[in-house]
Amino acid sequence: MQLDFSGKVALVTGAASGIGEAVARQLAAGGAQVVVADLHRDAAEQVASSIGAQARARQLDVSDADAVRQLVDATVAEYGGLHLAVNNAGIGGASQDTADYPLEEWHRVLGVNLHGVFYSMKYEIAAMLAGGGGAIVNMASILGSNGWAGSTAYVAAKHALVGMTKTAALEYSARGLRINAVGPGFIDTPLLAGMDRAAYDGLVALHPAGRLGKAAEVAALTCFLLSAQASFITGSYHLVDGGFSAR
């Protein structure tokens, strides 16, 4: 099914690789103008260049509220509006038991994975309402509904992100704005490139599908939720996890 995003302007954070890149490419393939936002400017520019004239690269640290505001404002000024957003930027953080978890890591992970999504929604929502509505997808994780030993900050942020998504959806659904969350399982992205084979196989074994997911599979669901085909879907948390959460 080819989704039609003609005439739409989309902002994707963390779009220089992995899931974010796949989302940006699928949105552009559907006709959207896409802002490829990422902390890593060079990588974002490579992605935007490979997509073509429909994409613009922008450097963005989502943990900086003013930087997020400026990017949303600049997007509206350049394109005349903002209709779609995918808040995908995120980091993993340290692996430590809760009592030993470093305070600086706690603040760093929540600064990106939770505060960054709040900042993004705060300014995206205002821009979308000014234009008559739109759709937002927040990238959660299977750890938005499950625990994972050693990842207290990441798990806390993703659980909170799901709750924040549901709350915002209740607040704005009657005003033409849909907001959903997607929860990927472990996805085969460049982030796993340095993992040893035993650890990789251990992750695969957690998924009844017998493999890790692909970024394009997460992007396909994300883009569907952004599309007019999903017009009655809001406030939901959708898993793409190969059966991980069904155990």
What are the angstrom distances between the C-alpha of 28 and each of 34, 60, 217, 223? 6, 20, 16, 11
Structural contact between residues 44 and 16, judged by C-beta atoms closer than 8 angstroms: yes
Strands (E), the chain: 9-13, 33-38, 55-59, 84-87, 134-139, 177-184, 237-240
CA distance linking residue 146 with residue 155, whole number of Å: 8
Token pair belonging to 54: 């429909």
162 SS3 class:
helix
- Using left for φ > 0, alpha for ψ between -120 and 50, and beta otherwise, residue 84 falls in beta
Q: Are 15 and 47 in contact (CB under 8 A)?
A: yes
Q: How far apart are CA 117 and CA 119, in angstroms?
A: 5
Which amino acid is it at 101?
Answer: Y
Q: Which residues are catalytic?
A: 154
